[in-house]
Chains A and B, each alone.
Chain A
Amino acid sequence: MRFSRDGHNVTKIEPWYRRLMNVKKKKADNLQLLNWEMAETASFQKQYIIVAGVMFLILLVYMARMWSLQVLQGATYRYQSENNRIRLEDISAPRGIIFDKNGVPLVENRPAYHVLLIREDVQDLDGTVRELARLLGRTPDELFAVLEANRTTPKFLPIRLAADLDRDALARVEAQRIRLPGVVIQLEPKREYRWNGTAAHLIGYLSEITESDLKQESYQGYVQGEDVGKFGVESAFERFLHGKRGGRQMEVDAIGRRIRLLDELLPIPGRNLWLTVDIELQRLAESLLEGKAGAIVAVDPTSGAILAFACSPTFDQEKFVRGLRKEEWQALSKNPNHPLLNRGSGAAYPPGSTYKAFMALAGLQEGVITPETSFNCPGYYEFAGRRYRCWRDRGHGGMAVERALIQSCDVFFYQTGMRLGVDRIAQYVSMFGLGERTGIGLHGEHPGLVPTSWWKRQAIGVPWQKGETLSISIGQGYDLATPLQMAVGYAAVANGGNLWQPYVVMRVEGSTPVETDEIKGKLRRTIPIAKKHFDLVRKGLLGVVEDDRGTAHAVRDKSFLMAGKTGTAQVVGVADGANRKLLERMAKGKTRDHAWFVGYAPANDPRISVAAIIEHGGHGSSAAAPVVQKVIAAYLKSESAAAPSQ
């Protein structure tokens, strides 16, 4: 032991292994343990050296780095800091293209030019804004208002003063830009709807991202002013279509001219989508609806793929991209014809007699009727002292299930419904996907309604009345279904009980061809009803078109066998004895019934199932059936043209 200069005693450092042995020896002795601790404190010496060494090494590296930055490259940086500025530029990613099933582009991108202002580069803000206003044909106040709204934006960041210039304005600004430091023209891809208005409800539209959207996690990486899908496929497939924006750091000179690219992150374009619809069939379906309000939905009964999805009236998608003015939005949203309403899957109607196919299957499977069970139809059904009428006042006479479907006898299904009861009806109808969303994934899908006694107590607070079972048996009363649900439900009847989840996008294409996802149909369930019952009901549905007395016999097409069912959805209940025709004239057709037809073809090997509703169209046979027939005919023709060997 020795004393150091400051009187502090220090134990000579021993190698660690010797210390280790000493510890074992001296463990018991408390005082000695203290001594050992002292010794050990000093013996941290090795660690001190290592820590100090590491520290000085790091400091040395730092000093070298600073020498390199400040002395070796100092002049360059000094030059950059004095004469140059770095500008940040955003590179937006082009959004994915949407094709139809045959590769025809439906939605593309076009270049749009915006005027940006970087205030830090502007020498005379007031003068520049006034000059710009003159060039753009706007009032200076309009532009000052934009600046005011972006007051908190850092001065080196660009502010978008005017979006999507027309060619003349672009030329004027471009010509004067040299005189206007701080003014930048930005090129950005903008959405272009090739067949503007066609399949608008299916494809959807874009609109500028809102303040509240930006805060959401799903919109991480989005920036102010960017467009996002707000409706239809554009919205449902946003995460594929959007891509990832890039950016670059540009060195610019004092008046904002670009000098050199410093750093760049290239954008990743959005992925392309291939829809299941065929634009030709889609256009045909829409032309059939022209001037009417309604919807046509066609699905492939072997996969659930949507073949056509037409809603009428439709709307202008380009308007949304351009940015709707307030009055334009008001005109759209307050339009009594509701052009924004997606009548294919976002609106539900009483299904009327189209319900009868499900009723027949339920009755047969539950055994409350047999194929031979015959009920007499005198033109009405009497229950609890009230007469419930058949659509045919004279009555149909005695008939079994097949003929009851062909002639759409209400009385037959009143009786079947009474035997089943409301809850058993609901159980079967629900199997066909009614009363629940189909899962197509589009914005605002209506679930429809299949009433049960429990539902009525919950929703309305009154117990179920037996008489109400009669109206729901023929698809009236509380029953509600969307055209999409009916098309899918009939597809399940057509294919013998496979209920598909409908889908509209069959392929998501990557930026490289390798990155391609094929989307296959998803089977929701197999309906547990015996094949012989399906066969019988399908025979009835075939008779609706093919039988001389079938309600849709008028639309029979010799080239293929079509099966289906007409329906009439009551808009207003008409009291017994009232003059229906007079009422309709008084309300200018607004009380006329909605006309339904749901059908599929070819009846022996169904490849398309179509539901059509024509609002206030009157009878399904005359208003809706011809529409469906034409869609099916066109589809089968194009299909055989595409595959001549079949």
Chain B
Amino acid sequence: MMDRRLIENFDWSIIWVLLGIICIGLLSVYSALYPQIRANPTHNLFIKQIMWLSLGFGVMFFTLFLDYQKLKAVSFWLYLATVVLLAAVLVVGKEVNGSKRWLELAGFQFQPSELMKIVIVIQLASYFSTQEMTSYPPLKKLLTPLAFVAAPVLLILAEPDLGTAICILAISGTVIFFMGIRWKYILAMMIGVIPLLMPIWMTVLKPYQKRRIEILLRPDLDPLGAGYHIRQSKIAIGSGMLWGKGFLNGTQNKLHFLPEKHTDFIFSVWAEEWGFVGCLVLLVLFGLLVFLSLRVARRSKDRYGALLVVGMTALILWQALINIGMVIGLLPVVGITLPFVSYGGSSLITLCFAIGIIESVSMRRYVFQTR
């Protein structure tokens, strides 16, 4: 039997904001794919995206029934399994464009690094909630969670998938920051990362991998590749001006200048057709989503729930910030999708799962209310 309070505490505002973002996503993906759809209506990625969305909502719905407390018991095993999958990718993974990211299971392609984004949050939240912690944990207490983060990050870097690795670092960093961390540790870590990365740079990476990262950080090194994409993306966004060119009227879009326009560069499609006003709407929606999620965290009944929600929020927030930052030319170009807007299955399902967890925590905050 369903507890009445479960439904009462469901946070509808999050869902409304989410639907707004998803609508923007569908409009943009349709627009980005429009030349293709017109040329060949049978090969329709837009329909596929709607199918992915339905599947995502299914996953979200399923997550609502899951008592997130039960995740605590299995979190370590879940974590371990995902690390093993990440290692497996390096051995038997499918290579696309020079990096191994996908596992093929019974005809389905699946990206363990996407799963890791969720699993690391669950693992860190479980760890911190079982440890006795003061608001500024000593460095000793931080070594274990740092190890939890380091293992998958190194494996993902080896794929290589810098975007996802950075994303996981940012998510974990946010969770650890939430547990309370002294500024001097943050400072020390920032300085400490450099000597840590140097040996990796010198030994592990092959020259062509180094080159790829160099281009990533400085697109102008590759004016025919990354540099070209960034310039075209800026023209698309800038030419949108205040009100945009209107739905399906983006001209940059028709030039097929970006091979990833419906995935990583979807924001520039939206910005071209809906202008500054459209961008503002999307940014505000993302801001609202984060604000509402943090409200759930604040109201959650325990540290574990709060950390879970914070982690899941960080997942959405950082991915959005990194993606938009790269598309508007403020951050280096790494392959990262815009949550709920970009085309793509695995990322959508991961994100729906994250929203499901947030709602699940929100629904189960009644325990203390009655006391």
Q: Which residue numbers of A lie inside 8 Å of B, CB to CB?
A: 7-9, 16, 19-20, 23, 27, 37-38, 40-45, 47-48, 50-52, 55-56, 58-59, 61-63, 65-67, 69-71, 73-78, 80-82, 85-86, 88, 90, 120, 154-156, 217, 220-221, 247-249, 262-265
Shortest CB–CB separation between residue B249 and chain A, in angstroms? 11
20 new A-B contacts, CB < 8 A, other than A38-B301, A58-B325, are A7-B369, A23-B132, A41-B306, A47-B180, A48-B294, A51-B294, A55-B290, A55-B321, A62-B325, A70-B279, A71-B241, A71-B242, A77-B234, A77-B237, A81-B235, A90-B224, A154-B256, A220-B207, A221-B211, A265-B221
Shortest CB–CB separation between residue B242 and chain A, in angstroms? 6
B257 close to chain A: CB less than 8 A:
yes
* A155 vs B132: C-alpha distance when bound (angstroms): 62
Known: A20-B135, A55-B317, A66-B276. A88 touches B242 (CB 8 A): no
* A74 vs B303: C-alpha distance when bound (angstroms): 47
B300 close to chain A: CB less than 8 A:
yes
A51 touches B174 (CB 8 A): yes
Set A42, A59, A74, A217: member contacting B283, Cβ < 8 A? A59
Set B235, B325, B328: member contacting A77, Cβ < 8 A? B235
A86 touches B232 (CB 8 A): yes
B302 touches A41 (CB 8 A): yes
A16 touches B135 (CB 8 A): yes
Shortest CB–CB separation between residue A299 and chain B, in angstroms? 34
A-B residue pairs in contact (CB < 8 Å), sample of 10: A40-B135, A41-B305, A44-B178, A44-B297, A48-B297, A51-B178, A74-B242, A156-B255, A248-B223, A249-B224
Chain B stretch 287-304: residues in CB contact (< 8 A) with chain A: 287, 290-291, 294, 297-303
B157 close to chain A: CB less than 8 A:
no
Chain B stretch 198-238: residues in CB contact (< 8 A) with chain A: 206-208, 211, 220-224, 227-228, 231-232, 234-238
Chain B residues with CB under 8 Å of A81's CB are 235-236, 238-239, 251-252, 272
Chain B residue nearest in CB terms to A79: B239
Known: A19-B135, A70-B271. A80 touches B235 (CB 8 A): yes
Chain A residues with CB under 8 Å of B236's CB are 81
B185 close to chain A: CB less than 8 A:
no
Main secondary structure of the interface of A (DSSP, over half): helix
Q: Which residue numbers of B lie inside 8 Å of A, CB to CB?
A: 132, 134-136, 174, 177-178, 180, 206-208, 211, 220-224, 227-228, 231-232, 234-242, 251-252, 255-257, 271-272, 275-276, 279-280, 283, 286-287, 290-291, 294, 297-303, 305-306, 310, 317, 321, 324-325, 328-330, 365, 368-369
Known: A20-B135, A263-B220. A66 touches B231 (CB 8 A): no
B294 touches A8 (CB 8 A): no
5 closest Cβ pairs, A-B complex: A77-B238, A74-B241, A81-B239, A247-B224, A70-B276
Chain A residues with CB under 8 Å of B303's CB are 37, 40-41
B251 touches A82 (CB 8 A): yes
Find the residue from B211, B223, B305 having the highest chain A CB count within 10 A: B223
Set A20, A63, A66, A249: member contacting B134, Cβ < 8 A? A20
B302 touches A63 (CB 8 A): no
Shortest CB–CB separation between residue B184 and chain A, in angstroms? 15
Known: A41-B300, A55-B290, A81-B252. A74 touches B231 (CB 8 A): no
Known: A48-B294, A65-B328, A264-B223. A59 touches B238 (CB 8 A): no
* A85 vs B125: C-alpha distance when bound (angstroms): 50
* A360 vs B224: C-alpha distance when bound (angstroms): 65
B206 touches A217 (CB 8 A): yes
Known: A40-B135, A44-B178, A74-B242. A66 touches B369 (CB 8 A): no
* A56 vs B134: C-alpha distance when bound (angstroms): 28
B290 touches A74 (CB 8 A): no
Chain A residues with CB under 8 Å of B221's CB are 265
Chain B residue nearest in CB terms to A74: B241
Chain A residues with CB under 8 Å of B286's CB are 59
B279 touches A88 (CB 8 A): no
Chain B residues with CB under 8 Å of A62's CB are 283, 321, 324-325, 328, 330
B302 touches A66 (CB 8 A): no
A70 touches B242 (CB 8 A): yes
A263 touches B287 (CB 8 A): no
* A120 vs B241: C-alpha distance when bound (angstroms): 26
Set A7, A16, A66: member contacting B328, Cβ < 8 A? A66
Chain A residues with CB under 8 Å of B287's CB are 55-56, 59
Chain B residues with CB under 8 Å of A73's CB are 238
Shortest CB–CB separation between residue A217 and chain B, in angstroms? 6
Chain B residue nearest in CB terms to A70: B276
Shortest CB–CB separation between residue B259 and chain A, in angstroms? 8
Set A78, A86, A90: member contacting B238, Cβ < 8 A? A78
B134 touches A77 (CB 8 A): no
Chain B residues with CB under 8 Å of A40's CB are 135, 303
